[in-house]
Chain A
């Protein structure tokens, strides 16, 4: 009876491990246009920010943030920090507890996987750069 149990346990452990390895998250599943902003977060001991474009464009037209609020069309190029946000600039223009939930909900924005660099998901530029970097690394490996 003990043998049966231990065999069964072994098979289960192998099976569950296999499933777990195959189910590991894959960045390719991130939503188109999701922006990770990690200019200061990692250094400050916070998770990076994930900005979901899709969620915001359901509620606001592009011009509201990229015109009225002065966000440049450049991930990581806006030099956003918490002082500016508390001062009502950038995200703070809406996330003030009036238009949208306020900034004490740290983890709703700072929910990214630690050490993820600033990037736009599924961005063509990003993919081309990644391909070029991979190719450069391959070349270095050949030499």
Chain B
């Protein structure tokens, strides 16, 4: 009898702790709380996750543990608000990274063309300024011309519907270059 009396408060305390833990975890992880702040937004702490917990690498593979964590690589690079959360062009301009233009020759330099193309857009969005400069730092003319963009003024029909489906700018933007919800980086010239 004495033993039982001794055990019940412990069970109760254990259950209470389990409940508190459950509630705290779910509020913190915003799984169930309908009024949680930023309910569907990926928490900042989960950005640039290491390979073993990024959901696509197999943590059971030995190789996974040898791979670099993006966080480690991005620590010294300028930040942006989308994609990898790295401002890749600023990283080149500030000489924080020096990606090669040639497999074998680290001295080879990119052939940069400094030419802005302004595209007037329908509707109320600001016009698009397309900078050749930032693009030619990464790409050759032949990557885009003539297969994706015909190099002639007025020859290219571009629409956001097509871009969202991976055509024209959407061949890279929305996949690896900065994402399509970063509207103002292209639509940057007020009417």
Is B131 at the interface (CB under 8 A from chain A)?
A: no
Is B55 at the interface (CB under 8 A from chain A)?
A: yes
Give the number of residues in B that approach A within 8 Å (Cβ atoms): 65
Of A78-86, A120-128, A133-141, the segment with at least 4 beta carbons within 8 Å of chain B is A120-128
Is A44 at the interface (CB under 8 A from chain B)?
A: no
* Structural contact, B18 and A14, CB atoms closer than 8 A: yes
* Structural contact, B139 and A34, CB atoms closer than 8 A: no
CA distance A27 to B56 in the complex (A): 6
* Structural contact, B138 and A111, CB atoms closer than 8 A: no
Contact partners of B175 in chain A: CB under 8 A: 33, 120, 123-125
* Structural contact, A29 and B49, CB atoms closer than 8 A: yes
Instruction: Evaluate whether A15 and B21 lie within 8 angstroms (CB atoms) in the complex, with A55-B73, A64-B102, A67-B140 already known.
Output: yes
Contact partners of A30 in chain B: CB under 8 A: 49, 54-56
Q: Which of chain A's residues has its CB closest to B172's CB? A: A73
**Proximity bits, B1-41, A CB within 8 Å = 1, else 0:** 00100110011001101100110010001010000000000
Contact partners of A7 in chain B: CB under 8 A: 7, 10-11, 14
Contact partners of A18 in chain B: CB under 8 A: 21-22, 25
* Structural contact, A8 and B46, CB atoms closer than 8 A: no
Is B67 at the interface (CB under 8 A from chain A)?
A: yes
* Structural contact, B103 and A114, CB atoms closer than 8 A: no
Give the number of residues in A that approach B within 8 Å (Cβ atoms): 62
Known: A25-B54, A29-B53. 7 other contacts (CB 8 A): A14-B18, A22-B31, A33-B84, A47-B58, A63-B143, A106-B63, A125-B170
Could you write out 25 A-B pairs with CB less than 8 Å apart? Answer: A3-B3, A15-B18, A22-B25, A28-B42, A28-B55, A29-B54, A30-B55, A31-B49, A31-B54, A34-B54, A36-B56, A47-B58, A59-B100, A63-B138, A108-B63, A109-B63, A111-B61, A112-B58, A113-B56, A113-B57, A122-B179, A123-B166, A123-B175, A124-B179, A125-B164
Residues of chain B at the chain A interface (Cβ within 8 Å): 3, 6-7, 10-11, 14-15, 17-18, 21-22, 25, 29, 31, 42, 46, 48-49, 51, 53-59, 61-64, 66-68, 70, 73-74, 83-84, 86, 88, 97, 99-104, 110, 137-140, 142-143, 164-166, 170-172, 174-176, 179-180
Residues of chain A at the chain B interface (Cβ within 8 Å): 3-4, 7-8, 10-11, 14-15, 18-19, 22, 25-34, 36, 47, 50, 52-55, 57-64, 66-69, 73, 93-94, 99, 105-114, 116, 120-125, 128
